[in-house]
């Protein structure tokens, strides 16, 4: 089923105490509305504590910002999908543009991460999006199509239905430049039509597609009013409780 989701990606911000304070502030300001799923994605080391904090609160979930593709072993510093799941976390962001850019994560690796997440009953929030160069060269649709194909389209239909897609144009992430509703709706519609071609209408209509990239309390309503935008993946604005809650209330 297509869901309404607002996910807060904290990236590498907040100590444990600061993070738990932010969660408490968010919970205080939120109404218990499980029509919109609010997902908090803190750094790995906060997952268990944040999951414990929100465990009995309706409509709240926790996501990791990444996971390793292998099940276990000698991979110093890494965290497996099984370890993430063992904290009570149910979602995992995979393929964020910062992982692709700064950590060299390519499509082949990301497909392995998706498989590992699904094998451990985690719901992948799979990120994709074009650079400004791609958009200027008018190859943005091609880029996103390729990312979909390489990262997700090897999945069997039953597995694909578990995935959430997040369209995050690289030029909009952390820049204060948001995609226009025309640009966002255009790409979301394109993504849905590619999913339709691959998996059929029922699955494409039921796929949740989030927008990310300078989404904030001011522009969320307009973005979420687009037919094919089912919510947001929010970075900077998720670090302030009142902004995150305002965005979650923007449907």
Tell me which residues are annotated as active site.
96, 168
Q: How far apart are CB 219 and ligand PGA at their closest, in Å?
A: 11
Q: How far apart are CB 93 and ligand PGA at their closest, in Å?
A: 8
Closest to ligand PGA by CB, 215 or 226:
215
Q: How far apart are CB 176 and ligand PGA at their closest, in Å?
A: 8
Tokens describing residue 88: 């009570």
Closest to ligand PGA by CB, 187 or 215:
215
Q: Tell me how far CA of residue 217 lies from CA of 74, 198, 222, in angstroms.
A: 43, 35, 10
What gap in Å lies between CA 151 and CA 132, rounded to an integer? 21
What gap in Å lies between CA 201 and CA 208, rounded to an integer? 13
**Chain positions contacting ligand PGA, by CB under 6 A:** 9, 168, 173-174, 212-215, 233-237
Q: What are phi and psi of 223, to 5 degrees?
A: -65, -45
Report the b/e string of 134-152 with b at 16+ CB within 10 A: bbeeeebbebbbebbebbb
Closest to ligand PGA by CB, 65 or 143:
65
What gap in Å lies between CA 99 and CA 111, rounded to an integer? 14
**Per-residue DSSP letter, 176:** S
Q: How far apart are CB 239 and ligand PGA at their closest, in Å?
A: 9
């Amino acid at each position: 089923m297509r869901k309404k989701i607002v996910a807060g990606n904290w990236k590498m911000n907040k100590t444990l105490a600061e993070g738990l304070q932010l969660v408490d502030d968010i919970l205080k300001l939120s109404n218990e509305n499980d029509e919109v799923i609010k997902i908090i994605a803190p750094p790995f080391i906060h997952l268990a504590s944040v999951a414990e904090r929100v465990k009995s609160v309706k409509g709240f979930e926790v996501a990791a910002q990444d996971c390793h593709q292998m099940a276990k072993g000698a991979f110093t510093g890494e965290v497996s999908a099984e370890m993430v799941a063992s904290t009570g976390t149910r979602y995992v962001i995979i393929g964020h543009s910062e992982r692709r850019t700064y950590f060299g994560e390519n499509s082949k690796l990301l497909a392995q991460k998706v498989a590992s997440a699904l094998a451990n009953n985690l719901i992948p929030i799979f990120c994709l999006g074009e650079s400004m160069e791609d958009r200027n060269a008018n190859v943005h649709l091609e880029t996103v199509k390729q990312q979909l194909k390489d990262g997700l389209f090897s999945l069997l239909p039953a597995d694909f239905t578990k995935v959430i897609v997040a369209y995050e144009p690289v030029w909009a992430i952390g820049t204060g430049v948001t995609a226009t509703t025309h640009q966002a709706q255009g790409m979301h519609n394109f993504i849905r039509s590619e999913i339709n071609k691959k998996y059929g209408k029922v699955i494409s209509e039921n796929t949740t597609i989030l927008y990310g990239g300078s989404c904030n309390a001011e522009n969320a309503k307009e973005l979420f009013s687009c037919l094919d935008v089912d919510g947001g993946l929010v970075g900077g604005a998720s670090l302030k409780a009142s902004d995150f809650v305002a965005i979650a209330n923007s449907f």
